[in-house]
């Protein structure tokens, strides 16, 4: 199973892997920036970008991310790997080794990227805001699982552009997915977010 999908599954199944998030009170500046970010994200209906996933032990994967709101994602690995990761609007599907594993897209923090209406305070809680003149980062936890992994989304600022997200684990291990050559307003073929490979011989649903 790929590093990226193991990450997504762990997010869906996490219960209490890190200590409680520290209380954070949003300032007026925070609220203004969050409103700008929500407006920016809601304006994106489709997006394509190159991605590089990196871990602290030096492992990397790369490819192309395709996104279409609501609910659709596809990670196309380069070079082509023996697996695929596709969110078809309902499920996040991992296809590998002739087997299909499904995770409800709504069970992962990344669902915020493809929500029909993006509201960062809906199912998530913002526990930190960091900003510099050309950079802003939000750290979020799931309201129902505030002690699970933390998701940090980073944006370039002036103008806003999604640049990366990262997951922080209890032991301090961080997995980062950086985006490059971001395009929005992309017209995708109708079958982009459909799995069209051989039939699965096994299915596991979380």
pLDDT for residue 181: 95
**End-to-end CA separation in angstroms for the chain:** 15
Low-confidence ranges of the chain (pLDDT < 50): 10-21, 199-206
The CB density around residue 201, as the number of other CB atoms within 10 Å, is: 9
Domain layout of the chain by residue ranges = 3-183
Q: Output the CATH code of domain 3-183.
A: 2.50.20.10
Output DSSP code: residue 87.
E
pLDDT score for 7: 52
CB atoms within 10 A of CB 4: 19
Look at residues 94, 123, 118, 93 and name the one whose alpha carbon lies nearest to residue 106: 123
C-alpha to C-alpha distances, 28 to 77, 96, 99, 163, nearest whole angstrom: 41, 47, 49, 24
pTM (two decimals) = 0.80
The closest alpha carbon to 75, from 99, 50, 57, 103, belongs to 50
The whole-number pLDDT of residue 33 equals 94
pLDDT tens digits for range 88-137: 888 888 877 777 888 787 776 678 888 889 988 777 788 999 999 899 99
User: In whole angstroms, what is the distance from residue 174 CA to residue 14 CA?
Assistant: 15
Q: Which pLDDT belongs to residue 155? A: 96
pLDDT of 145 reads 64
């Amino acid at each position: 199973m790929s590093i990226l999908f193991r990450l997504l599954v762990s997010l869906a199944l996490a219960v209490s892997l890190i200590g409680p998030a520290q209380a954070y009170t949003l300032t007026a500046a925070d609220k203004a920036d969050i409103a700008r970010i929500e407006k920016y994200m809601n304006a994106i209906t489709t997006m394509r970008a190159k991605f590089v996933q990196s871990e602290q032990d030096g492992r990397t994967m790369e490819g192309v991310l395709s996104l279409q709101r609501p609910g659709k994602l596809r990670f196309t690995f380069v070079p082509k790997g023996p697996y695929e990761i596709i969110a078809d609007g309902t499920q996040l599907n991992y296809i590998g080794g002739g087997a299909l594993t499904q995770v409800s897209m709504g069970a992962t923090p990344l669902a915020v990227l493809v929500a029909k209406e993006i509201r960062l305070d809906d199912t998530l809680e913002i526990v930190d805001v960091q900003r510099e003149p050309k950079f802003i980062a939000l750290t979020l936890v799931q309201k129902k699982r505030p002690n699970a992994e933390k998701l940090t989304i980073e944006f370039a600022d002036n103008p806003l552009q999604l640049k990366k997200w990262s997951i922080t684990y209890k032991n301090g291990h961080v997995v980062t997915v950086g985006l490059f050559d971001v395009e929005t307003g992309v017209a995708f073929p109708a079958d982009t977010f459909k799995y069209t490979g051989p039939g699965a011989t096994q299915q596991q649903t979380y």
